[in-house]
């Protein structure tokens, strides 16, 4: 049983006027097999939570703790966090010119698994995952995210998720910029991973549309750097109807 435990997490960023606190004490636990939706308006701290857990240097931990199976991940480097079982699907994936998707994925899998996958088996794994995501096999020869459409970038993120098999997957606005068909394909990819493993999912989104495809067990509303309400899937339905105004103006 994997457990990601976030306790009283406070995070800030350096600005022209000094350190600005964004997260103001977040408590959240994600267990194996659970899907948690993090919802809230722009600027509420959702992406800050994702990137501070993953180890982005822009964000400064001001207090609190984050542990994965009891290990303090805040003391780990970014690659150590990934090897421990954390995965982040970024809202804006970066380009890596000159590095092919195929080489990138096999190198990442080698680092995570501790040994290089056998080539023949790996080719089969990658082809199957690409086929499930409606990705042309020629995609593997392209440079990572270079010239990719928004939908291609997001499919590539989910391709990584399928192949790297993390313990905890943080999906930061995976639905942003996707048309209806791409949203369905990406969501089906996430669901396949959930069905094939005990991955815990932290799904960050503004909108409820992705929750029609990926059913959350828990919904948490973010506002002003805190979780201000928690519930089940019915809370997402309430947000669809009423929006975030009550939380922003509170």
- pLDDT class for 91, splitting at 50, 70, 90? confident
Asked if 155 contacts 136 with a C-beta cutoff of 8 angstroms, the reply is no
Q: Report percent pLDDT > 90 for the chain.
A: 81
DSSP-derived pairing of the beta strands 143-144 and 96-100: antiparallel
Cβ density class 194-211: b for 16+ within 10 Å, e for less: beeeebbbbbbbbebebb
pLDDT of 87: 96
What is the rounded (10 degree) CA torsion for 172, 177, 180, 182? -70
Instruction: Render pLDDT for 53-78 as a digit per residue (tens, 0 to 9).
Output: 999 999 999 999 999 999 999 999 99
Instruction: Render pLDDT for 10-58 as a digit per residue (tens, 0 to 9).
Output: 999 999 989 999 999 999 999 999 999 999 988 899 999 999 999 999 9
Residue 215 has pLDDT above 90, yes or no: yes
Average pLDDT along the chain: 93
Instruction: Render pLDDT for 160-203 as a digit per residue (tens, 0 to 9).
Output: 999 999 999 999 999 988 889 999 999 999 999 999 999 999 99
CA 182 to CA 29: how far, in whole Å?
30
Taking the mean position of all CA atoms in its chain, how far away is CA 244?
22
Instruction: Give the pTM.
Output: 0.93
Burial of 75 (0-12, 13-18, 19+ CB in 10 A): exposed
């Amino acid at each position: 049983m994997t457990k990601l435990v976030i306790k009283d997490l406070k995070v800030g960023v350096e600005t022209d006027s000094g350190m600005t606190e964004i997260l103001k004490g977040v408590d959240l636990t994600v267990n194996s097999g659970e899907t948690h939706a993090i919802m809230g308006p722009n600027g509420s701290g959702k992406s800050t939570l994702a990137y501070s857990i993953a180890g982005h240097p822009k964000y400064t931990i001001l207090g609190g703790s984050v542990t994965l199976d009891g290990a303090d991940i805040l003391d780990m480097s970014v690659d150590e966090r990934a090897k421990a079982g954390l995965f982040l699907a970024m809202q804006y994936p970066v380009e890596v010119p000159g590095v092919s998707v195929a080489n990138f994925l096999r190198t990442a899998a080698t680092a995570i698994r501790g040994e290089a996958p056998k080539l023949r088996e790996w080719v089969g794994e990658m082809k199957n995952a690409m086929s499930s995501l409606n990705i042309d096999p020629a995609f593997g020869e392209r440079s990572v995210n270079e010239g990719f459409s928004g939908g291609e970038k997001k499919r590539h993120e989910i391709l990584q998720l399928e192949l790297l098999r993390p313990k905890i997957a943080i999906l930061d606005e995976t639905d942003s910029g996707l048309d209806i068909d791409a949203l369905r394909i990406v969501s089906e990819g996430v669901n396949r991973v959930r069905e094939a493993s005990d991955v815990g999912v932290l799904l960050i989104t503004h909108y409820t549309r992705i929750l029609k495809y990926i059913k959350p067990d828990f919904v948490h509303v973010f506002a002003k750097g805190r979780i201000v309400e928690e519930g089940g899937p019915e809370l997402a339905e309430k947000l669809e109807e009423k929006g975030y105004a009550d939380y922003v103006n509170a």
